[in-house]
A and B are shown apart, each in its own frame.
Chain A
Amino acid sequence: MSLRTPLGRVRGLGSAKDGTHHWWMQRVTAVALILLTVWFVASLVALVGADYAVVRDWIGNPVVAVLLSLFIGTSLYHFKLGLQVVIEDYIHHEGLKIAAQLAVTFFSVVVAAVSIFAVLKIAFQATGQA
């Protein structure tokens, strides 16, 4: 039996021992994604009709390469956090739930890693040619 008050128990770390970390990171990534999404969509609109060389030059700009990498990484982190809750809500079989959580985590990390690698490859090739 615990002598701690209910308030004392919820302060700091909650029952899952990570408090509001998940909720907070979803909001932090959401705020970042408002700015990054507006930048990404506006950039794509400006690139409509651009050919291969123009788009590669665009990613060759260091600011663009960093922002694009941040957009991809933050999006997939936000996606992972969101899908985690969807799985917790709808999948009640313990084994399936763990398998789905692993699949979402692996998907998010692999897609982010591969995409960011492609962006950096283009960016570093552009620097080498300059």
Chain B
Amino acid sequence: MAKPARPLSPHLQVYSWGLHMVLSILHRATGVALGAGALLVAAWVIALASGPECYAQFQACAGSWLGRFVLFGFTWALMLHLCNGIRHLVWDAGYGFDLDATRRSNQLVFWGAILLTVVTWVLGYSLLGRA
């Protein structure tokens, strides 16, 4: 049977991008990326369980500029997924659906994730200086 040429729903590319769309797809993307983050946590505890030489190798990798870059990205992905995840739970409870509240929570999630990431790393580096 031939399919009748019904109008199709507009595809994503006809809309101008807004922060709400960016955050929505980033929630998925960071969720997938955090699976790779779980591999980093696994590598960390396995190295720790395997002995001092193995752990020294892990520390050398994690402490390199590439390692720090990946860990910084991991921190940001975790914080964004955490902040946006809390917003999803608020939505699930039935709050924050009107346009003004959504605009505010967009900003809160986006900047909150960046702020938490920077605070985490500033605290980490300040402790490193003290040690």
B124 touches A55 (CB 8 A): no
Size of A's binding interface in residues, CB under 8 A: 34
A30 / chain B contacts, CB cutoff of 8 Å: 85, 88-89
A114 touches B42 (CB 8 A): yes
Q: How many A-B residue pairs have CB under 8 A?
A: 85
Q: How large is the interface on B (under 10, 10 to 19, 20 to 34, 35 or more residues)?
A: 20 to 34
B35 touches A83 (CB 8 A): yes
Contacts known (A49-B131, A52-B56, A115-B45); A83 close to B32, Cβ less than 8 A: yes
Q: Besides A44-B124, A52-B56, A118-B48, 18 other CB < 8 A contacts?
A: A27-B92, A30-B85, A34-B85, A41-B75, A45-B123, A46-B127, A49-B128, A55-B48, A75-B41, A79-B34, A82-B32, A107-B35, A111-B38, A114-B46, A115-B42, A118-B45, A118-B46, A119-B49
A37 / chain B contacts, CB cutoff of 8 Å: 78, 82
Task: Please give the distance in Å from B24's CB to the nearest CB on chain A.
Answer: 13
**8 sampled A-B residue pairs with Cβ under 8 A:** A41-B75, A45-B124, A45-B127, A46-B127, A115-B42, A115-B46, A118-B48, A122-B45
A122 / chain B contacts, CB cutoff of 8 Å: 45, 48-49
Query: Closest residue of chain A to B55, judged by CB?
Result: A52
A34 / chain B contacts, CB cutoff of 8 Å: 82, 85-86
